[in-house]
Structure 1
C-alpha cells in the first residue's frame, strides 16, 4: 500500500518532533507524500463546563495563537504553513473530520503506551484508532520509548 496524504496529529510536547520524523520517513518512502500536521485545542467551555461566568473568547484566542506558534516551530522547515492546522474541538473527532475532508490515508499519532486502566480511561491515540477510516500509526513516545 502506498500513502498519498499523511496527517500527523501532535500534542505540542517535545515528543511531537519524534512523531513528525516518523511520518516524514514514511512520506519519503511513498514518493514524498503530502504531510499535514495538526493540533487540537479543547474549547475552554468544555474544560470549565460553563462554571465561569465570563467571556473566554480572548483567552481561547491567546491559546490558539500560542498553539499556532508552537506548531510552526515543530513543523518548520518540513511542513509548509498551509499544511499546519490548529483546530478547536475534541481531538479524535477533529482528526477524523480532517482526515475524511482532506483525503488522508494515514494518520500518525504519538502514544505513551499506557496499559490497563490508563488505556481504558482513554487516550487520544485510542480514540483516533477506533474511529479512523484509514490506517493509523501510533508512535511510541515518552520515557519508555527512550530506553
Structure 2
C-alpha cells in the first residue's frame, strides 16, 4: 500500500514499502528492472518477480497471434494433456533460471513466480490477484513497423493494469 500523505512528506519515495511487481523475460533489461524494483520498494520482500510463459509459443502458434500449429498439426488433433506437461516443465525451467539470474545477496528475499498465460493477461491478472501497488516493466524500445506487428506488451499492460506502471526505457 502506498505511503500516507504524512509519511510521504518525510520520504521521497512514494512506493517505499509497497508491493512491486517486476515481470521479466530474462533479457538484460529484466535484471535492471528487478534492481530498480528493489531500490523503489526499500525492502526486497516487497518485490515480486514474475515470468509469464507464453503458451502460444510453446504450442507452436505463430508470433503474430495466428492459429496454425507447428509441424502441420491440425487444431483438432492437438494433444492438450501433453501441452500441460510442456507448460509445467517450462515453469520449472523458468523458476530455475530466475534463481540463477538473481542468486546474489542483493536479491535475497525477493519473491519469484511463474505463470502460463499471454504476457499481458498474465501480468495484469497476477498484479490484480496479489494486490500489487506498482508494476516496474522493462521495455525493449521497439518502434515503427515492429511495434505495430508485434504489439507492445508494455503498452498493453499500461492500458490494462489496475495500478501504476513504470516503464523503463532503454
Give the TM-score normalised by the residue count of structure 2: 0.70
Question: What corresponds to 1:11 in structure 2?
Answer: 25
The separation in 1 between residues aligned to 2:24 and 2:145, in whole angstroms, is 23
Task: Count how many residue pairs are aligned between Structure 1 and Structure 2.
Answer: 138
- Per-residue CA deviations over 1:34-65 (Å, capped at 9, x if unaligned) read 11000000123472747344433333332222
SS state at 1:100 partner:
helix
**Structural mapping, 1:106-125, within 5 Å:** 106-121=134-149, 122-125=151-154
The separation in 2 between residues aligned to 1:58 and 1:99, in whole angstroms, is 25
Question: What corresponds to 2:51 in structure 1?
Answer: 39
- Give the gaps of 5 or more residues in structure 1: none
Larger radius of gyration between Structure 1 and Structure 2: 2
The separation in 2 between residues aligned to 1:14 and 1:32, in whole angstroms, is 20
2:125 to 75, 97, 100: 97
Question: What corresponds to 1:70 in structure 2?
Answer: 97
Asked if residue 20 in structure 1 is aligned to residue 34 in structure 2, the reply is: yes
SS state at 2:162 partner:
coil
The separation in 2 between residues aligned to 1:50 and 1:65, in whole angstroms, is 27
The separation in 1 between residues aligned to 2:52 and 2:60, in whole angstroms, is 13
1:102–1:111 Cα change, 3 Å = same
1:58–1:33 Cα change, 3 Å = closer
Question: What corresponds to 1:135 in structure 2?
Answer: 164
Give the TM-score normalised by the residue count of structure 1: 0.80
* Structure (1/2) with the larger strand percentage: 1
